[in-house]
Amino acid sequence: MSSSHFQLSLPDWVQPYVASLPEQIQDVSARMQVAIALARYNVDNGTGGPFGAAIFEQNSGRLAAAGMNLVVGKHCSLAHAEMVAIMMAQSALKTHDLGRAAGAPYQLVSSTEPCAMCLGAIPWSGVQSLVCGANDADARAVGFDEGEKPSDWQGGYQRRGIAVECGVCGEDAARVLRDYAASGGEIYNSGA
Protein backbone atom coordinates (compact mmCIF):
# COMPACT_ATOMS: atom_id res chain seq x y z
CA MET A 1 0.00 0.00 0.00
CA SER A 2 1.23 3.47 -0.89
CA SER A 3 1.85 6.00 1.84
CA SER A 4 0.40 8.82 -0.24
CA HIS A 5 -2.40 10.87 1.23
CA PHE A 6 -5.03 13.33 0.13
CA GLN A 7 -3.91 16.91 0.47
CA LEU A 8 -6.42 19.66 0.05
CA SER A 9 -5.08 22.59 -1.89
CA LEU A 10 -7.02 25.01 -4.00
CA PRO A 11 -6.17 25.90 -7.61
CA ASP A 12 -3.76 28.79 -8.19
CA TRP A 13 -6.46 31.10 -9.55
CA VAL A 14 -8.44 31.09 -6.27
CA GLN A 15 -6.26 33.39 -4.14
CA PRO A 16 -6.14 36.26 -6.67
CA TYR A 17 -9.91 36.00 -7.15
CA VAL A 18 -10.60 35.99 -3.40
CA ALA A 19 -8.19 38.91 -2.89
CA SER A 20 -10.19 40.94 -5.43
CA LEU A 21 -13.42 40.66 -3.39
CA PRO A 22 -14.68 43.32 -1.00
CA GLU A 23 -13.84 42.66 2.66
CA GLN A 24 -17.54 42.36 3.48
CA ILE A 25 -20.38 41.14 1.27
CA GLN A 26 -23.70 41.81 2.95
CA ASP A 27 -26.20 40.99 0.20
CA VAL A 28 -27.11 37.30 -0.20
CA SER A 29 -27.33 37.66 -4.00
CA ALA A 30 -23.81 39.11 -4.07
CA ARG A 31 -22.61 36.19 -1.92
CA MET A 32 -24.22 33.81 -4.40
CA GLN A 33 -22.44 35.54 -7.26
CA VAL A 34 -19.16 34.65 -5.49
CA ALA A 35 -20.14 30.96 -5.39
CA ILE A 36 -21.22 31.07 -9.04
CA ALA A 37 -17.96 32.79 -10.03
CA LEU A 38 -16.00 30.07 -8.23
CA ALA A 39 -17.89 27.47 -10.27
CA ARG A 40 -17.36 29.37 -13.52
CA TYR A 41 -13.63 29.98 -12.93
CA ASN A 42 -13.22 26.33 -11.97
CA VAL A 43 -14.65 25.26 -15.31
CA ASP A 44 -12.90 27.97 -17.35
CA ASN A 45 -9.52 27.07 -15.81
CA GLY A 46 -10.03 23.32 -16.23
CA THR A 47 -9.58 22.69 -12.51
CA GLY A 48 -12.87 20.97 -11.77
CA GLY A 49 -16.58 20.64 -12.18
CA PRO A 50 -19.28 23.33 -12.34
CA PHE A 51 -19.93 23.75 -8.63
CA GLY A 52 -18.76 26.50 -6.29
CA ALA A 53 -19.36 27.25 -2.62
CA ALA A 54 -18.31 29.83 -0.07
CA ILE A 55 -18.65 30.18 3.67
CA PHE A 56 -19.32 33.63 5.04
CA GLU A 57 -19.59 35.06 8.52
CA GLN A 58 -23.34 35.47 8.34
CA ASN A 59 -23.56 38.81 10.15
CA SER A 60 -20.41 40.61 8.99
CA GLY A 61 -20.35 39.25 5.45
CA ARG A 62 -16.65 38.35 5.66
CA LEU A 63 -15.59 35.44 3.50
CA ALA A 64 -14.25 32.61 5.68
CA ALA A 65 -13.49 30.10 2.92
CA ALA A 66 -13.96 29.35 -0.74
CA GLY A 67 -14.61 25.93 -2.21
CA MET A 68 -15.04 24.45 -5.62
CA ASN A 69 -15.52 21.00 -7.05
CA LEU A 70 -12.17 19.17 -7.19
CA VAL A 71 -13.42 15.59 -7.63
CA VAL A 72 -11.72 14.68 -10.91
CA GLY A 73 -8.45 16.56 -10.46
CA LYS A 74 -7.91 15.37 -6.88
CA HIS A 75 -9.16 11.84 -7.63
CA CYS A 76 -11.47 12.13 -4.66
CA SER A 77 -15.24 11.65 -4.77
CA LEU A 78 -15.56 13.59 -1.50
CA ALA A 79 -14.13 16.82 -2.95
CA HIS A 80 -17.47 18.49 -3.72
CA ALA A 81 -17.59 22.29 -3.53
CA GLU A 82 -19.50 22.34 -0.24
CA MET A 83 -17.18 19.79 1.36
CA VAL A 84 -14.09 21.70 0.19
CA ALA A 85 -15.48 24.99 1.54
CA ILE A 86 -16.31 23.36 4.89
CA MET A 87 -12.86 21.74 5.15
CA MET A 88 -11.11 25.00 4.27
CA ALA A 89 -13.16 27.01 6.80
CA GLN A 90 -12.66 24.47 9.58
CA SER A 91 -8.94 24.33 8.87
CA ALA A 92 -8.58 28.13 8.78
CA LEU A 93 -10.61 28.54 11.97
CA LYS A 94 -8.97 25.52 13.65
CA THR A 95 -12.21 23.84 14.64
CA HIS A 96 -14.42 20.98 13.50
CA ASP A 97 -17.53 22.91 14.60
CA LEU A 98 -18.19 26.19 12.81
CA GLY A 99 -21.10 26.80 15.17
CA ARG A 100 -18.61 27.41 17.98
CA ALA A 101 -15.96 29.26 15.96
CA ALA A 102 -15.13 32.93 16.30
CA GLY A 103 -17.29 34.88 13.87
CA ALA A 104 -20.26 32.50 14.15
CA PRO A 105 -22.88 32.11 12.85
CA TYR A 106 -21.60 30.96 9.47
CA GLN A 107 -23.51 30.72 6.20
CA LEU A 108 -22.74 28.25 3.42
CA VAL A 109 -23.55 29.60 -0.03
CA SER A 110 -23.59 26.93 -2.73
CA SER A 111 -24.05 27.39 -6.46
CA THR A 112 -26.28 24.28 -6.53
CA GLU A 113 -28.44 22.50 -3.96
CA PRO A 114 -26.42 19.91 -2.05
CA CYS A 115 -26.24 16.31 -3.25
CA ALA A 116 -27.04 13.47 -0.85
CA MET A 117 -23.46 13.32 0.52
CA CYS A 118 -23.19 17.06 1.16
CA LEU A 119 -26.73 17.13 2.52
CA GLY A 120 -25.61 14.74 5.28
CA ALA A 121 -22.37 16.57 6.07
CA ILE A 122 -23.64 20.14 6.24
CA PRO A 123 -25.46 19.86 9.61
CA TRP A 124 -22.33 18.41 11.24
CA SER A 125 -20.21 21.31 9.98
CA GLY A 126 -21.86 23.79 12.32
CA VAL A 127 -23.09 26.23 9.67
CA GLN A 128 -26.39 27.80 10.62
CA SER A 129 -27.59 28.91 7.22
CA LEU A 130 -27.56 27.45 3.70
CA VAL A 131 -28.20 29.44 0.53
CA CYS A 132 -28.51 27.59 -2.81
CA GLY A 133 -28.57 28.73 -6.42
CA ALA A 134 -29.39 26.09 -9.04
CA ASN A 135 -31.75 23.36 -7.90
CA ASP A 136 -31.41 19.58 -7.82
CA ALA A 137 -33.31 19.22 -11.10
CA ASP A 138 -30.80 21.51 -12.85
CA ALA A 139 -27.89 19.26 -11.81
CA ARG A 140 -29.75 16.09 -12.76
CA ALA A 141 -30.79 17.59 -16.12
CA VAL A 142 -27.15 17.74 -17.26
CA GLY A 143 -26.48 14.21 -15.98
CA PHE A 144 -25.12 14.51 -12.43
CA ASP A 145 -26.34 11.87 -9.96
CA GLU A 146 -27.38 13.78 -6.86
CA GLY A 147 -28.23 10.62 -4.88
CA GLU A 148 -31.28 9.82 -2.83
CA LYS A 149 -32.41 12.84 -0.85
CA PRO A 150 -35.37 13.14 1.54
CA SER A 151 -38.20 15.10 -0.05
CA ASP A 152 -38.40 17.38 3.00
CA TRP A 153 -34.65 17.99 3.41
CA GLN A 154 -35.23 21.74 3.82
CA GLY A 155 -37.70 21.13 6.65
CA GLY A 156 -35.22 18.74 8.26
CA TYR A 157 -32.54 21.43 8.18
CA GLN A 158 -34.91 24.01 9.62
CA ARG A 159 -35.87 21.64 12.44
CA ARG A 160 -32.14 21.43 13.24
CA GLY A 161 -31.89 25.24 13.35
CA ILE A 162 -30.33 25.67 9.89
CA ALA A 163 -32.06 28.34 7.81
CA VAL A 164 -32.43 27.47 4.11
CA GLU A 165 -32.95 29.75 1.12
CA CYS A 166 -33.02 28.24 -2.38
CA GLY A 167 -33.21 29.65 -5.88
CA VAL A 168 -30.96 32.67 -5.26
CA CYS A 169 -29.58 33.65 -8.69
CA GLY A 170 -30.75 30.20 -9.77
CA GLU A 171 -30.68 30.84 -13.51
CA ASP A 172 -27.10 32.18 -13.38
CA ALA A 173 -26.00 29.10 -11.47
CA ALA A 174 -27.87 26.70 -13.76
CA ARG A 175 -26.22 28.30 -16.78
CA VAL A 176 -22.79 27.23 -15.47
CA LEU A 177 -24.04 23.64 -15.26
CA ARG A 178 -25.46 23.72 -18.78
CA ASP A 179 -22.36 25.38 -20.25
CA TYR A 180 -20.13 22.78 -18.61
CA ALA A 181 -22.17 19.91 -20.03
CA ALA A 182 -22.39 21.52 -23.48
CA SER A 183 -18.60 21.96 -23.58
CA GLY A 184 -18.07 18.24 -22.94
CA GLY A 185 -17.14 18.54 -19.26
CA GLU A 186 -16.86 15.21 -17.46
CA ILE A 187 -20.14 14.18 -15.85
CA TYR A 188 -18.89 11.79 -13.17
CA ASN A 189 -21.08 9.50 -11.06
CA SER A 190 -23.76 9.80 -13.71
CA GLY A 191 -24.96 6.26 -13.13
CA ALA A 192 -24.08 5.47 -16.74
Short-list 133, 150, 124, CA closest to 31: 133
User: Which position among 82, 146, 165, 171 bears the catalytic label?
Assistant: 82
Give every CB contact of residue 182 below 8 A, 6+ residues apart in sequence.
none
Cα of first residue to Cα of last residue in the chain, in angstroms, is 30
Length of the chain: 192
- Cα(81)–Cα(50) distance, integer angstroms: 9
**Catalytic annotation present for 113:** no
State the catalytic residues: 82
